[in-house]
Amino acid sequence: MDAEGKRIMYTGTETELVAVLKDPVLMTDLHKITQIEDYVKQVAVEILYSKAEKEVEYDGFSMAWNNSNQYPRMWFPSIDTLFFCSGIQDLDFSEVKRVAEIGSGPGFIGKYVATKSPALQALWLNDINPSAEQYFKDTNQDSRTHFSLQDGKEFLQQQEAFDVVVCNPPYLPRPKSIDDNAYEGLSLVEYLISNCKSFLTSPGRLFIVLPTFAELPLSHALSHPEINVKILGEKEVPLKVSTVLNNPEWMDYLLSKGLKKEMKQGHEYWQTIKVLQITPQKSV
């Protein structure tokens, strides 16, 4: 309704700003939504977030998707994703020709790097989830972009070297981790760090996101004398994975490794995640 109470009809092409959620700690930060003072706007935002169709935009790059069950077990951009992009936003990608995203899902990070790489010749997205491949087939319009449905380690062993490899990996450690769980395990991260020289050009760069409580299990790999590790950014975010929160043994393990229990901003468990740039040492 307009100011005179008349119905407003939209064609579907108009956009209107409903509310701004400052410094959200999750992509759908329900606590922040409940803090919107204008009740009508609060309800409007709740309804908009409940819609299946959504779009995420960061730094001029956007991705739309349907949050129905069209692509089972595929996670779309999260707070980690946008934090990752913020960490690499100001880096120079002007000479990058080959990029790969391992565990790509819809490929937001890889495609974001591609938009910042004017010399790009090939972007490879790699995942073990057939839904990610289907999403690629349904949406890709760039002939330079390719998809590989296979184990990330095998993929890197079969490809030519890349100038940039990005990965927002499973990073929740626990004893006897299951490697095919999209949230847990450090085996992929450890492989990428320990073997980056074999799949990167010189000079090439590996970018990953890790929580602080994963650094100790990976200390040997991260301190290897043949690599340089640079922290590009840090952010404290809630741990909001129901399969973990409902597993007392797993939670006890993470709390012993540095997960923080502190009720604030509507969330009880917190982790500090970091964007890392890893580069092999140049041969003398």
Q: What's the confidence (pLDDT) of residue 183?
A: 64
Mean pLDDT of 93-107: 97
Q: What's the confidence (pLDDT) of residue 2?
A: 64
- CB burial readout 75-97, b (16+ within 10 A) else e: bbbbbbbbbbbebbeeeebeebe
User: What letter represents residue 189's amino acid?
Assistant: V
State the pLDDT confidence band at 108, using cuts at 50, 70 and 90: very high
What is the number of other CB atoms lying within 10 angstroms of the CB of residue 39? 8
Beta strands in 67-169 (DSSP E): 98-102, 122-127, 145-149, 162-167
What is the number of other CB atoms lying within 10 angstroms of the CB of residue 127? 26
Residue 177 has pLDDT above 80, yes or no: no
Q: What's the confidence (pLDDT) of residue 184?
A: 72
* Cα three-residue angle 215-220-224, rounded to 5 degrees: 115
Give the pairing type, strands 53-58 and 200-211: unpaired
What are the extents of the domains in the chain? 52-280
Q: Which CATH class is domain 52-280?
A: alpha beta
Residues 132 and 104: beta-carbon distance below 8 Å: yes
Structure confidence by residue, pLDDT tens digits, 8-36: 666 666 778 899 998 889 988 999 999 99
State both tokens at 48. 């908009």
Residue 118 has pLDDT above 70, yes or no: yes
Mean pLDDT of 198-226: 92
Q: What's the confidence (pLDDT) of residue 252?
A: 93
Tokens 């590790």 -> residue: 229
Q: What's the confidence (pLDDT) of residue 54?
A: 86
Q: What's the confidence (pLDDT) of residue 92?
A: 97
Residue 111 has pLDDT above 90, yes or no: yes
State the pLDDT confidence band at 236, using cuts at 50, 70 and 90: very high
